[in-house]
Structure 1
Amino acid sequence: MATDTVMAPGIMTDLSKSLKKTNSRELALLLPFNMNRVESDTIRMQLLRSDKFLNMTLDFYAGALMAIDSAKVLGLPLKVKILDARETKNTSDIESLRGSLTSADAVVGPFFQSNVEKTADLLGAGIPVISPLSKEPGKPYPNLFQSMPSPDKVKMAMLDYLKLKDANVVAVVDPKKASSRVLIKNNYPSARFADGAITAATVKLLLVKDKMNYVILESESTGMIKNTTKILFEALPEYQIQLVVLEKTDELDNDEIPLARLTALKLMYPSVTNDSDTPESLLFAKVFKQKNGIFPNQFATRGFDVTFDVILRMFQEQEFKEVMSGVVSEQIENKFAYAPQNGGNYNTGVFIMYYDHDLSVKQAQ
């Protein structure tokens, strides 16, 4: 699989080109199979039909197995342990697995934040633990790497992108979204806010001709989104406008809001995943279907991306922690740009996506 990566934050390189294969490495996958609940084939079939958490685990595992296969293709001397964390949100079997984890060079899992913190604490600073799915910032540990960007980091990525542009920024914020207003004011002080009733007249007062106008719309009200996008759409002949949201919510998919309107406004949003159809994602989907009989969902792709990224970092000249903090990587759908903060390590890798006129989703440049 192709993988674009970075030797210093912001500079892309390919980690598969700098692999060091002289020493073997051991990876432990600590996943919540909860096999203790499966007493018979009948129970297993019932769980597969009804247990969403088990299905998510198996999807992630299928993706991780493809990453391990890819490592074999690269000729990496990789040993893998697959362990059942037997976890729920409040319980796990991690302490009894300590003896099986002490030889690992890196651990991926468990899923729940409290359990991944327990694992990092139990294993100590010498063994890196990668949290694959939790969005919670949680308690920082020097050996714990949160691979999923937090919701706040995702929103900040959008504002950081806008800061790089020579543009007029207008914010239309629902009164119920006070936290969004504060976030925008604190991080983009020059943004011009539309206060009071949102009408064509009040919005046009804030727009600038002969310059790009980024209009941040923060609302979960279908009516407000419908009204604001209509006003902006009708202003397109006079102004350069691009619609921006800090979080892509289900309300944007409402049938009352025409997709043609959102594409005309080139709706732009921050995303943990690259939602465009890249050659790499299409190839991955094809190979995954050949192996598993179904196309990969987001958890299967996440399983591949997190696992393959960790494997590539394990087989570099530098120490693992050095590679984690100094290398930005991009896999099939996910970006990994770890930054140390308050004694922990957090992924800041976010994509900026937009709707294009041909109804496709593309990555903003």
Structure 2
Amino acid sequence: MNKFFPVLCLLLLFSFSTLQAQNYSTHKVREGETIESIAKRYHVTPSDIYGLNPDAKKELRINSVLIIPKPKVSNTPKITVVRELEGFKKHRTKKKQTLYGLSQQYNVTIEEIKKHNKFLYAEPLRKGDKLQIPIFKVTEVEEVNELTKTYTVLPKEGKWGIAYKFGITVEELEELNPEMGAVLQEGQILNVPNIGDEEEKVIDERYSYYKVLPKEGFYRLKIKLDLEQEELEALNPILKEGGLKAGMVLKIPYDSLADGLSGLDSKKVNLIDSITDFNTKHIAIMLPFRLNRVDFDSKPDTKKSIEKDPYLNASLDFYSGVLTAIDSLKTLGISLNVDVYDTKKEVSEVKDIIDENDFENIDAVIGPLMPDNFDEVASELRKYNTPVMFISPINSNLKLYENVFQSRPSQDLLKKKIVNFVKADTLVDNIIIISDTKNKKVSNDIKHEFNRAKQIFSRKDKEDVDKYFVSRDDIQEELKPGKNIVFLETQDAGFVSNVTSVLAALIQEENKEEEKEAIDIVLVTTNNNAAFEGDAVDYTHLSDLQFHFATMSRTYNENNNPFVKKYKQIYNITPSSRAVKGFDLTMDVVLRLVSSEDLYMSVTEAPLTEYIENKFAYKKKLFGGYYNDTVYLVKYDDLTIVEVKQ
């Protein structure tokens, strides 16, 4: 026994040091005490004590030692000085006396002297002035902080939000308010811990919030949220003090796939009606103009240089839309400071631009166009938390840093949109997937989504070369009476022409006399590309087949469109899709900046915005930046492409 005594002493010393370091204390239970009385004494809740002493729930034994956590509310008495007016003392001013000197002499303030001698508000103090000096009785009142205070529930506020705000669990909030009900009502009065205003946590809309479930530890949270304990503690410092408890609300990086407690409202917002900040905003445009390669000797040479360089052509197209947006924003009273940089499509040039210019106070950067250039900009500007908008097609190797906004929706999102559309159609009787050899994997992926779907592949010649062709019989034998959805997956215009003409001919109306059942065919694709717009494709067939597809941009009516009218006035041509994208993206970025605290906050304050051709609904990756998570579903209707309302 004796040989273990030093070890026991060290253990007790270590335990005591640990408790002291974590601001815990201990309490020896006396006869007649309850958990409630002990909690009140130490300004904590019963749940705080149970969290560290689970055995106390079963039995509170006399002389047992409880670990008491640091109180959320300071129990240090507050001393308030009370001054009560008792009367006045007459004073005749002597030479060189001042109000400051009199205030020090009689222990009153200058304002208190003036208050009872009102002529001093307009005239200076002079020798011989007769004054009334107030005499106060001074007492000190000791106020002991109450454990709780009242709180008024705000609109749309839930239990988890209030619990997080005051650093308690949902169960502890319910414990303080046993009659609060399952759903909170606006204006409802609740009891909450009496912490200072500066200690209340703010709901950061750039994050999601997660309620810890019973028996859920850091290991389970790692599996569910893919967050290490250190990462959770960094976002929630309270974990280092009190550990993980069931019902606790944790701040976590925002992601739609996480089991968060808050979500996005998909309601479209018109940001023009939400402008609140008219301070000058500073944005930067970075594009690969490559002006160093342009021959400016003559107008024909310059024109030839532009036509020969696809990057300059694309940059000028996009930038023309940016300039039109800037002009429109000025008419709204928005002041902009715009820096334009030519990246020359070179990473070294991008590095020089960042090194030689001040980007710390830039509100947002639009561009660059090339993925490697963009990666350099986004990586370098992370230290300033400057938002950078990526405008090119998503590159699989592109790293979405925390300050990155991917404005172009992914191809996977387009595919998901059309697949979900088909899944939601309860009237579908049959699904067929037609594809060429190059798209066999796509066909198999769709087949995985629709197990009963039938697959048809384009025919091959004797050398096993794809001929991009199917016969009427190939398709007809797979059709069924009723509604047939047909996926067509190809990048070959000839194959599109072949399949659409066969399908259009197989549409059949009901004929009771001939005992023919109706065969309705709806054509869809997960990848609408140039093949569907080829010269050989008959648009009448696409209309007859109600061709559906998902797209990043919608068609719009050019007639009486203010943007188109202004663009034509400036450039004498109809705006291209790139020019419209430049206009839409610039309008969205700037309007988000002037209607929210910053671009990050706008993600939840303006969940969905829409302009000429494009719409934006950003979501945040669990680890990384923001991506545009909205696309259009459209169809051919009477030779016109129209949006499908869902």
Determine helix, strand or coil for the equivalent of 2:616: strand
Contact 1:109 1:129 in 2 (8 A): yes
Matched, 1:260 2:540: yes
Aligned to 1:64: 322
> Alpha-carbon deviation of 1:276?
4.1
CA distance in 1, matches of 2:372, 2:308: 25
Aligned residues of 2:558 and 2:564 also touching (Cα < 8 A): no
Aligned to 1:162: 422
Q: Which moved more, 1:153-162 or 1:283-292?
A: 153-162
CA spacing shift, 1:266–1:69, aligned 2, 3 Å: same
1:171 and 2:433 correspond:
yes
Choose which of 142, 150, 160 in structure 1 pairs with 2:402. Answer: 142
Q: CA deviation at 1:300?
A: 1.0
Pair 1:286-2:565 in alignment: yes
- Aligned partners of 1:112 and 1:134 also within 8 Å: no
CA distance in 2, matches of 1:300, 1:31: 13
**Mapped partners of 2:607, 2:372: distance in 1:** 27
**Counterpart Cα distance in 1 of 2:351 and 2:390:** 14
Aligned to 1:4: none
- Which segments of 5 or more consecutive residues in structure 1 lack a partner in the other structure? 1-6
1:234 aligns with 2:497: no
* 1:269 corresponds to 2:549: yes
Alpha-carbon distance in 1 for matches of 2:625, 2:277: 29
Corresponding residue number in structure 1 for 2:388: 129
Structure 1 residue 26: deviation in Å? 1.1
Paired residue for 2:530?
Answer: 250
- In structure 2, the residue matched to 1:118 is 376
Structure 1 residues 45 and 252: CA distance shift in structure 2, 3 A: closer
Alignment correspondent of 2:608:
328
The alpha-carbon deviation at position 195 of structure 1 amounts to 4.0
Provide TM-score, normalisation by structure 1. Answer: 0.87
1:288 is displaced (CA, Å) by 0.3
Larger CA Rg, structure 1 vs 2:
2
User: Which residue does the alignment assign to 1:100?
Assistant: 358
Tell me how large the CA RMSD over aligned residues is.
2.6
Equivalent in the alignment of 1:31: 287
Please report how far the alpha carbon of residue 56 of structure 1 lies from its aligned counterpart in structure 2 after TM superposition.
Answer: 1.4
**Equivalent in the alignment of 1:308:** 587
Decide whether the 8 Å contact of 1:266 with 1:354 is kept in 2: yes
Q: Per-residue CA shift, 1:53-72, capped at 9, x if unaligned?
A: 21211111111011111111
Q: Deviations over 1:272-314 (max 9, x none)?
A: 111243668x432221010112211111111111111101111
Among 185, 192, 199, which residue is 2:447 paired with?
185
Q: Which moved more, 1:36-45 or 1:326-335?
A: 36-45
List aligned pairs for 1:39-50, cutoff 5 A. 40-42=296-298, 44-50=302-308
The one of 481, 490, 494 equivalent to 1:209 is: 481
Distance 1:84 1:221 in 2: 37
Give the TM-score taking structure 2 as reference length.
0.51
Instruction: Work out the CA distance in 2 between the residues paired with 1:215 and 1:183.
Output: 15
Q: Distance in 1 between matches of 2:548 and 2:556?
A: 13
Cα displacement (A) at 1:38: 4.5
Task: Indicate whether 1:51 and 2:51 are aligned.
Answer: no
After superposition, what is the alpha-carbon deviation per residue over 1:122-144, rounded to whole angstroms, capped at 9, x for unaligned?
01151000012243241120101
CA contact (8 A) 2:484 2:521 kept: yes
What SS does the corresponding residue of 1:362 show, helix, strand or coil?
Answer: strand
| Alignment partners' CA distance in 2, 1:218 and 1:346 | 26
Residues 363 and 347 (structure 1), Cα distance of their counterparts in 2 relative to 1, 3 Å cut: same
Structure 1 position 243, deviation (Å): 0.7
Greater Cα shift, 161-170 or 24-33: 161-170
Q: Secondary structure at the match of 1:176?
A: helix
**More contact order relative to length (CA 8 Å, sep ≥ 6):** 1
- Equivalents in 1 of 2:286, 2:498: separation in Å? 48
Q: Cα offset for 1:95?
A: 3.7
Aligned-partner Cα distance in 2 for 1:233–1:222: 16
Secondary structure of the residue aligned to 1:23 is coil
Q: Against the structure 1 CA distance between its residues 190 and 286, is the aligned structure 2 distance closer, same or farther, given a 3 Å change threshold? A: farther
Instruction: Kindly indicate whether the alpha-carbon contact (under 8 Å) linking 1:194 and 1:202 is maintained by their aligned counterparts in 2.
Output: no
From 312, 327, 341, give the equivalent of 1:83: 341
Q: Distance in 1 between matches of 2:493 and 2:587?
A: 40
In the alignment of these two chains, the number of paired residues is: 354
Structure 2: which amino acid aligns with 1:261?
H
Shift of 1:206: 4.5
SS in 2 for 1:93: helix
Instruction: Tell me if the contact between 1:113 and 1:134 (Cα under 8 Å) persists in the aligned partners.
Output: no
Q: What is the DSSP-based 3-state SS (H/G/I as helix, E as strand, rest coil) of the residue aligned with 1:41?
A: coil
Residue 349 of structure 1 aligns with which residue? Answer: 630
Match of 2:130 in 1: none
Deviations for 1:17-72, whole angstroms, at most 9, x for unmatched residues?
Answer: 11112433211112222333447434644422422221211111111011111111
Give the % identical residues.
Answer: 29
Secondary structure in 2 aligned to 1:28?
A: strand
Cα distance per residue 1:309-364 (max 9 Å; x no partner): 1011111234421313562211111121222235232212211121112x111111
Q: What does residue 643 of structure 2 align with?
A: 363
Amino acid at match of 1:97: I
Q: Cα gap change, 1:195/1:289 in structure 2, threshold over 3 Å: closer, same or farther?
A: closer
Question: Counterpart of 2:526 in 1: which secondary structure?
Answer: coil
